[in-house]
Structure 1
Amino acid sequence: MSGTFEAFESERLDALEAERTELERQLGEGAAGGDRAQFAELGRRLARIGEIIDVAHQAQEALADAEAAKDLLDTSDGDDAAEVSEMLEVATARAAELDEQLKVLLLPQDPNDGRDVIVEIQGAEGGEEANIWARNLFEMYRAYAAAQSGWSLELLGSQDSDMGGFTNVTFAVRGPNVWRLLKHEGGPHRVQRVPVTESQGRVHTSSATVSVLPEAEEVDVEVDPNDLVVDTFRSSGPGGQSVNTTDSAVRVTHKPTGVVVSMQDEKSQLQNRAKAMRVLRSRLLQLQQEAHAAEVAAHKRDQVRGGGRSEKIRTYNFKENRVTDHRVGLTIYKLDRVLAGELDEFIEALASAERTQQLAAALAGAGE
């Protein structure tokens, strides 16, 4: 049996156990010194190391069980042999399963694992149909989030279009594994259907872009108030109609980067500003990560690109009840269920493809 654990030197396991002990000591003695960012980082590292150690020990036990069953099988016969053979099969399968888990755990960790996310959806090409499609995508993600245990969705801001769509909508999603499960949803989503604005029944192609950002905490990004320009204005609805008689809408511009965030859903200027700052910090965190990691930069830039009809990560074809994810070549003929929030097949396929690529890269690096 090939085993990641067998190649996982006992010295390395001992080193991880020593590190776990040291991290527990630091956290217990307040080594972070009141620094919330450092405290959170130490906690995340402790949890990750603990999981690796636990799985390594379980793999060790499973391998020992398999070896014991193999030795026992050599001296068994009749009914005893059949029973021991079954024990060997179970232990071997368990060892293989744990071996795969350990492989994944030993891969470089996504720095955003454990973070919540902020999602932005904008109508792209296709006029009003693209805005209606943006609302459809929002409803799809809201249904998916509602079906996940421990998840919650908070609408941060939106701009309605003339026919009930969204020119843009921004929302936060919180819960276990939110980033891990939603991070691959970023990019242009293309739809092929007969728009409600089409009088002759012709199929049109439109698109909306989805951007998935790791939510930043205040401690992650320092924002100098002197770098901000804050403008207030009256909220407006579709077609420019006024929906508020006070200047409660807020536009925050970060001068060093040119990032602009607007919020108008709340009646209070303070509430709109607080929401705008949450989105601003997340965008700035994204920019920081792009500056420090070329692969992260490429991934993030690819998320939105131009949003054109020819650029897509996924296509939703209403006539054929078909959804195709072009990155993994997966096609599912139940578009209605996907739009109702049943995204698991795509999310699992994308996660599996990512693990496969990471494992291949790790093996290539080990062979150099």
Structure 2
Amino acid sequence: MFDRLGELAGEHAELERALADPGVHANADQARKLAKRYAELTPIVAAFREWQQAGEDEQAARELAAEDPAFAIEADELAKQRAGLEERLRVLLVPKDPNDGKDTILEVKAGEGGEESALFASDLLRMYLRYAERHGWKTEVIDSTGTGLGGVKDATVAVKAGRGGGAGAWSRLKYEGGVHRVQRVPVTESQGRIHTSAAGVLVMPEADPVDVQVNDNDIKVDVFRSSGPGGQSVNTTDSAVRITHLPTGIVVSCQNEKSQLQNKEQALRVLRARLLAQAEADADAKASAERKAQVRTVDRSERVRTYNFPENRISDHRVGYKAYNLDQVIDGDLDGVIDALAAADLEAKLGDQ
């Protein structure tokens, strides 16, 4: 690890010299690339230098302790400080998810359980919208299909960082993919019996057009009349759009906007995100393994999380997380369970080093 740190410190010094050269900034793209790498390395190199300094100070304290035992206590404290810095360096050296700064496309789909599943999907959608609001993220409902009782058959939402910037939505929401199970007494249940149903969540980093190019010859575009609410202009014109990506068979529909052109643009956004997710899964075995938790079929047996309303309990089965604050979680307070998933993810990556 420390051989690698020496190499990174050397690279950091070279980048510092390059960025001080006015000629480098004549090429804005190149300067931006160098500045980004320099910013990535700076905290690592700073911690490395702090670790080196603590080692030198510890050695000096050990030598002085031979003459004055009081320095032995200082040497022991420096040794603890150095051990802490080593652990911090291990964490800093964990490979970063290249998509962590990206915005997110999130899909919620009702599954088994009929109308109760659709109502639960609606609750999940609201939960994610509230969670985004807590983090200052912007949300945009790209497409949704409702039910008569206020449930959601399926919905697609774009989540992006607000003006304040900060971490991308993907860095937190990427852990939400999978089948979510609910246990509660449905509003449609007259006998007061607890039912179990499920809804699926699929999360993808949003792809920029530069990330994924969609060839017009590779897509089939169908238009049809919207079936959802939205007024006469929506329901009386063929404004809804269905795009089929012929090479992969991926189908995306959008009917929320009033114009055919707007619906096509929104559908292309979702298509690009799906294609990016598929390409990354195919190219990287680790990404493919991580996506095993994503929705395949919305089947209760493939659950990643259970929401038990009678006990006010939330359980994430991937990391053994359990808490009795479901009322707060369903209102958007998701940080506790997401922190547990992020910590387990980091631990697994540290184990691979």
Among 79, 97, 115, which residue is 1:110 paired with? 97
Tell me whether 1:28 sits opposite 2:14 in the alignment: no
Among 330, 337, 340, which residue is 2:328 paired with? 337
Q: Which residue does 1:206 correspond to in 2?
A: 197
**Alpha carbons of structure 1 residues 229 and 343: separation in structure 2 relative to 1, 3 Å:** same
Q: Which residue does 1:353 correspond to in 2?
A: 344
Among 47, 54, 76, which residue is 2:46 paired with? 54
User: What does 1:250-269 align with in structure 2 at a 5 Å threshold?
Assistant: 250-269=241-260
1:99 Cα offset (Å): 2.8
Q: Which residue does 2:117 correspond to in 1?
A: 130
Tell me whether 1:144 sits opposite 2:135 in the alignment: no
Amino acid in structure 2 at the alignment position of 1:222: Q
Q: Deviations over 1:54-109 (max 9, x none)?
A: 332343345455556666677668xxx59x958974x6665444433321221222
1:353 Cα offset (Å): 0.8
**Alpha carbons of structure 1 residues 11 and 248: separation in structure 2 relative to 1, 3 Å:** closer
**Alpha carbons of structure 1 residues 165 and 46: separation in structure 2 relative to 1, 3 Å:** farther
1:344 Cα offset (Å): 1.5
User: What does 1:77-92 align with in structure 2 at a 5 Å threshold?
Assistant: 89=77
Amino acid in structure 1 at the alignment position of 2:187: V
1:247 Cα offset (Å): 1.5
**Alpha carbons of structure 1 residues 11 and 284: separation in structure 2 relative to 1, 3 Å:** closer
The answer to whether the 8 A contact 1:250-1:262 is kept is yes
TM-score normalised according to structure 1 size: 0.83
The root-mean-square deviation of aligned C-alpha atoms, in Å, is: 2.9
With 193-202 and 59-68 compared, the bigger mean Cα shift is at 59-68
**Alpha carbons of structure 1 residues 245 and 94: separation in structure 2 relative to 1, 3 Å:** farther
**Alpha carbons of structure 1 residues 103 and 251: separation in structure 2 relative to 1, 3 Å:** same
- Distance in 1, Cα, partners of 2:208 & 2:313: 39
1:22 Cα offset (Å): 5.2
**Alpha carbons of structure 1 residues 169 and 20: separation in structure 2 relative to 1, 3 Å:** farther
- Distance in 2, Cα, partners of 1:40 & 1:216: 20
The answer to whether the 8 A contact 1:20-1:50 is kept is no
Q: Which residue does 1:183 correspond to in 2?
A: 174
Identity rate, percent: 48
- Distance in 1, Cα, partners of 2:67 & 2:142: 68
The answer to whether the 8 A contact 1:17-1:53 is kept is no
Q: Which residue does 1:36 correspond to in 2?
A: none
1:315 Cα offset (Å): 0.5
**Alpha carbons of structure 1 residues 49 and 211: separation in structure 2 relative to 1, 3 Å:** same
The answer to whether the 8 A contact 1:236-1:242 is kept is no
With 139-148 and 212-221 compared, the bigger mean Cα shift is at 139-148
Q: Deviations over 1:285-310 (max 9, x none)?
A: 11111121122123224310222111
Tell me whether 1:221 sits opposite 2:212 in the alignment: yes
With 94-103 and 115-124 compared, the bigger mean Cα shift is at 94-103
The answer to whether the 8 A contact 2:184-2:308 is kept is yes
- Distance in 2, Cα, partners of 1:220 & 1:40: 18
Question: May I ask how many residue pairs the two structures share in their alignment?
Answer: 345
- Distance in 1, Cα, partners of 2:152 & 2:12: 49
**Alpha carbons of structure 1 residues 261 and 47: separation in structure 2 relative to 1, 3 Å:** farther
- The gaps in structure 1 that reach 5 residues or longer are 34-38, 363-368
Amino acid in structure 1 at the alignment position of 2:211: D
With 210-219 and 167-176 compared, the bigger mean Cα shift is at 167-176
1:167 Cα offset (Å): 0.6
- The gaps in structure 2 that reach 5 residues or longer are none
- Distance in 1, Cα, partners of 2:16 & 2:306: 46
Q: Deviations over 1:242-287 (max 9, x none)?
A: 9521121111111111111111111122221111111111101111
The answer to whether the 8 A contact 2:111-2:198 is kept is yes
The answer to whether the 8 A contact 1:52-1:102 is kept is yes
Q: Which residue does 2:6 correspond to in 1?
A: 10
Q: Which residue does 2:270 correspond to in 1?
A: 279
